[in-house]
Homo-oligomer: A and B are copies of this chain.
Amino acid sequence: MARKLGELARYLGARLVGDADAEVSALATIQGAGPGTLSFVANPKYQAHLDGTRATAVIITEALLPRCPCNALVVDNPYLAYAKVSHLFDRAPKPAPGVHPSAVVDPGARLGTGVHVGPLAVIEAGAEIGDGAVIGAQCFVGADTRIGAGAVLWPNVTIYHGVTVGQRTIIHAGVVVGADGFGFAPSRGKWEKIAQVGGVVIGDDVEIGALTTIDRGAIGDTVIGNGVILDDQVHIAHNVSVGDYTAMAGKAGISGSTTVGKHCLISGMAGLVGHIDICDNVQISGMTVVSRSITEPGVYTSGTGMEPHASWTKNAARFRQLDAMARRLADLEKRLNQLERPAEDAGE
């Protein structure tokens, strides 16, 4: 995996200050870097580590060049350059085209050219796998589901029938797409199941983290836009729509029929109730309950701050008295106004 710096400079469109023939064979953090590694400084708080770095080369901005003790790849956006170059050092196996003999592929499924189907995968009738797609070991692709060209399913992914996955979309292990939404009609104290006859449509260039669930629509589809990134254990309920390039961190969840705009950032463990609309460019803090629609971009939060349990106990007990406290406060103000008035009158 050794790469010459000259090659990397060309790949990144970077200005190389140093030895074009020097080689790096791994990535490293700026503080942990050793000889033969390539590092980067993107966050100002790590600049102090640049002086003493033992990296063979670093990706930095022009501004940091004077204090750089080693070869430098100079770019405008080091973090983005690091993202691009990182793939050259990835040791993840690259599955070769071909269908493993232990896979169970229905004769009625259509596979594009260069498709990889791993061992013990199941592909049902009517499914279409786009050119160059990777269906990992032990994956399940249901009837009539379409997987886009260049998409990658890591092992053990389950995609139900009638789902569409876009091109180059990456789905991590254990993800379940297209299970029934949580739809039941109450009937004399029991629950009457509603068939979930919609599907799921996932856009291009999406990434879905391990063990995330995206349920199929009750009527019509659940929709994940292009370029959306979902972390692990996210839950997307039926008929939700997530706008392009929105990011959701670990364990966040969206209830049924809610619409989230584009370019939103939903932090970990945040939960959105059903049937609301969130506009573009909204940011939700961690573990926030989003209980109503949001029509203005900005950052939104609920909850309280962490504190030592002993003081928390006292404050939380007072929270239950908060409305009473507010009324007592208003009463005090009224009485104090009354008391002050004679004094003011007297002052006239």
Contacts and interface: CB of A to CB of B under 8 A. Distances in A.
Interface of A: 26-29, 32, 77, 79-80, 82-84, 86-87, 89-93, 100, 102, 104, 118-120, 122, 124, 137-138, 140, 142-144, 154-156, 158, 160-162, 170, 172-174, 176, 179-180, 182-187, 189-197, 205, 207, 209-211, 213, 215, 219-220, 227, 229, 231-233, 235, 237, 245, 247, 249-251, 253, 255, 263, 268-269, 271, 273, 285-292, 298-323, 325-326, 328-329, 332-333, 335-336, 339-340, 343
B179 A209 contact: yes
Given A86-B194, A158-B174, A235-B233, A285 B303 contact: no
Copies assembled: 3
A210 B219 contact: no
Given A304-B302, A306-B291, A207 B235 contact: no
Given A154-B160, A182-B209, A182-B250, A309 B299 contact: yes
Contacts of A326: 318, 321, 325
Contact of A301 (B142, B309, B325): B309
A311 B320 contact: yes
Given A268-B255, A300-B308, A306-B302, A179 B185 contact: no
Contact of A319 (B83, B160, B315): B315
Contacts of A92: 160-161, 195
A316 B307 contact: no
Contacts of A182: 209, 229, 231-232, 249-250
A219 B32 CA distance: 10
Nearest to A105: B119
Contacts of A316: 301, 303-305
Contacts of A336: 332, 335-336, 339
Contacts of A189: 245, 263
Given A82-B185, A143-B93, A104 B102 contact: yes
B269 A253 contact: yes
